[in-house]
Structure 1
Amino acid sequence: MRKPLQFIMAGIGTEIGKTVVSAIIVEALQADYWKPVQSGALEDSDTETVRRLISNPVSRFHPETYRLREPLSPHAAAAIDGIEISLNAFALPQTTNHLIVELAGGLMVPLNNQDLMIDLVKQLDLPVLLVSKHYLGSINHTLLSVEALQSRSIPIRGIIFNGPETPATEAFILNYTGLNCLGRIEWGTEVTNEFVSRHAIDLQKKLNEYDGGLHE
């Protein structure tokens, strides 16, 4: 029986498109979804966005460990809410299905005065799918993210590029890091269920192609 695939969805920064890419992979795998920390937008959270964008009837949505009112870095939003985020409070949802875990912000975002988002990644002990968005400076941010993960021996199962194809940038990142490109997501004028489903079909092929490596 095929072992469920479980990944952490990380981005090279904020507003990189992790939630849309998460929806595409959730749809491709009919996976469960979990956002450990939601900062702000509690009425229209990332969990609700992914729920709205997918079409399959299988995926389950697990509640956030922390729901913070302000759209700030988790450590600052938690302070306003009068709480302190603790790494000990996080535990992977119990599921036999595939699972996508979406981080809040970039890898070096603080959870509290001692711990960063990357410390949560290390604790959860799942491989990472890294989303890189094309913009001036994205090569630097992508390589820094890869280096931060590798320095902590956190496995990276591939990169997903977001935005119009930029061959020179993509070629350099892939050649320098030796990582696989799992997909390219070109945003249209509107992100719809059809948009997600179309990209999910393409990404599903890549996930199947790298299935052996993804299980390592």
Structure 2
Amino acid sequence: MSSPIIFVTGTDTDVGKTFVSALLVQKWEANYWKPVQTGLESDVGDTATIEQLCAGQRHEPHIFEPRYALQKPLSPLAAMEYEPTVDIQLSDFHIPGQNTDCPLVIEGAGGVYVPLTKELHITTDLIKHLIGSTNRPVKIVVVGRSGLGTLNHMLLTLEHLCAANLENHILGCILNGKRNPGNVKVLQRYGRRIIAEVDHCSTDEDFVTALDGIPNLATFS
């Protein structure tokens, strides 16, 4: 059976998707791809961040370049207004690489309802497009903050994915930040799988410690 594709999305911007993606890349010995990157005028971008986080770690992933790289720190739709020659189309996205023995972590831009194209396709449409373009299993990991407000954001995100007929593709949730047992308990009461809780990490040692909290990919097979 081919190795899975893991699509990492978030409940909001700056919830830790890139850091969690780096953890999954390392723990699950996966490659990495960010299809659409924005904000390059003010940040090195998530692809470069993944390279930095994985440097010196046990697994050296193949990191694929974004299909689109935009300058403004906005949604792809809004960022395109500043680069009128760019016209993102869902048909432009093809899963890179031919190594089906290696998992692939794909990091989305923002959350599931972020507008990507001038036709108002959103991240959910991109996920569906990728599912339809491969025979590999595609699973979704939703990253959210651990603290106050995450219940509403997380449950709305998951409800939207279910309404889009993607429930069977949801692998589970990862909460990022200071641990909040109460929020975990409520999400579990709603029947949602908590893959991991990730504490704030500021050093390489913290990163290695956080890896221990990520279950092996075989756990979900």
| TM over 0.5, shorter chain | yes
Q: Deviations over 1:11-68 (max 9, x none)?
A: 1111110000000010101210000000013661101111111113431000101000
Instruction: Find the counterpart in structure 1 of residue 25 from structure 2.
Output: 26
Letter in 1 for 2:142: L
Equivalent pair of 2:4/2:139 in contact (CA under 8 Å): no
Distance 1:95 1:195 in 2: 33
Instruction: Find the counterpart in structure 1 of residue 69 from structure 2.
Output: 67
Distance 1:129 1:151 in 2: 16
Equivalent pair of 2:40/2:69 in contact (CA under 8 Å): no
How far did residue 138 of structure 1 move? 1.3
Distance 1:208 1:92 in 2: 22
Identity of counterpart residues, as a percentage? 32
Q: Deviations over 1:188-209 (max 9, x none)?
A: 4x1x33322222233144x332
Instruction: Find the counterpart in structure 1 of residue 152 from structure 2.
Output: 140
Q: Could you state the TM-score of these two structures normalised by the residue count of structure 1?
A: 0.89
Distance 1:112 1:9 in 2: 19
Runs of 4+ residues deviating >3 angstroms: none
Distance 1:27 1:201 in 2: 11
Equivalent of residue 186 in structure 2, options 156, 166, 172: 172
Instruction: Find the counterpart in structure 2 of residue 107 from structure 1.
Output: 112
Q: Secondary structure at the match of 1:159?
A: strand
Instruction: Find the counterpart in structure 2 of residue 127 from structure 1.
Output: 139
Equivalent pair of 2:196/2:215 in contact (CA under 8 Å): no
Q: Deviations over 1:62-107 (max 9, x none)?
A: 0101000111111011121112211111111123211000001111
Q: Is residue 196 of structure 2 the alignment partner of residue 183 of structure 1?
A: yes
Distance 1:39 1:74 in 2: 7
Q: Secondary structure at the match of 2:81?
A: helix
- What stretches of structure 2 of length at least 5 have no aligned partner? 132-137
Instruction: Find the counterpart in structure 2 of residue 47 from structure 1.
Output: 47
Q: Is residue 214 of structure 2 the alignment partner of residue 209 of structure 1?
A: no
Equivalent residues, number = 206
Instruction: Find the counterpart in structure 2 of residue 163 from structure 1.
Output: 177
Distance 2:205 2:129 in 1: 35
- What stretches of structure 1 of length at least 5 have no aligned partner? none
Letter in 1 for 2:139: P
Q: Is residue 105 of structure 2 the alignment partner of residue 95 of structure 1?
A: no
Q: Is residue 79 of structure 2 the alignment partner of residue 80 of structure 1?
A: no
Distance 1:3 1:162 in 2: 29
Equivalent pair of 1:30/1:56 in contact (CA under 8 Å): no
Distance 2:122 2:8 in 1: 15
